[in-house]
């Protein structure tokens, strides 16, 4: 059984930094792409960043580039999202997801496995 569990969210102030963690279990024998998505109140879930089994990385567009860093601990099956210089518009539920195809894809529909999400709230 595949399970993804996020943690690390909370209430922060603009300019703060945080690290989100996603621990995965039940995924074996495949080349996965791991990703972070976020969903702000009243908005659609959007792609944030992705990393593949070999440690390559892809980032979203300008809204997060330079502030968000995705990384992976292969031994512990854990994915991280480091976020610097938080802004109020980063307020969202952040989700970890896995795509067993191994392809670089950014659509919500491409990811088969999801965590329950962790809330990040940023005050100005």
Q: Which two tokens stand for residue 107?
A: 């659509």
Distance between CA atoms of 114 and 124, rounded to whole angstroms?
30
Mean pLDDT value across residues 14-27: 93
Q: pLDDT digit string (tens) for 74-121?
A: 888 899 999 999 999 999 999 999 998 888 889 999 999 999 999 999
Please give the average per-residue pLDDT across 34-43, as a whole number: 95
Per-residue model confidence (pLDDT) at position 30 = 67
Tens-digit pLDDT profile for residues 47-83 = 999 998 777 777 676 778 889 999 988 888 899 999 9
Of 101 and 37, the one with more pLDDT: 37
Neighbours of 43 (CB within 10 A): 9
Find the distance separating the first CA and the last CA of the chain, reported in whole Å: 40
């Amino acid at each position: 059984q595949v399970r993804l569990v996020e943690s690390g969210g909370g209430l922060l102030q603009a300019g703060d930094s945080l690290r989100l963690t996603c621990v995965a279990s039940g995924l074996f024998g495949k080349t996965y792409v791991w990703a972070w998505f976020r969903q702000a109140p009243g908005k659609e879930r959007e792609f944030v960043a992705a990393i593949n089994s070999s440690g390559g990385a892809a980032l979203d567009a300008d809204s997060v580039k330079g502030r968000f860093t995705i990384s992976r601990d292969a031994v512990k099956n854990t994915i991280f999202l480091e976020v610097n210089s938080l802004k109020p518009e980063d307020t969202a539920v952040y989700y970890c997801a896995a795509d067993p195809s191994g392809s670089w894809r950014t659509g919500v529909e491409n990811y088969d496995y999801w965590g329950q999400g962790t809330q990040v709230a940023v005050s100005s």
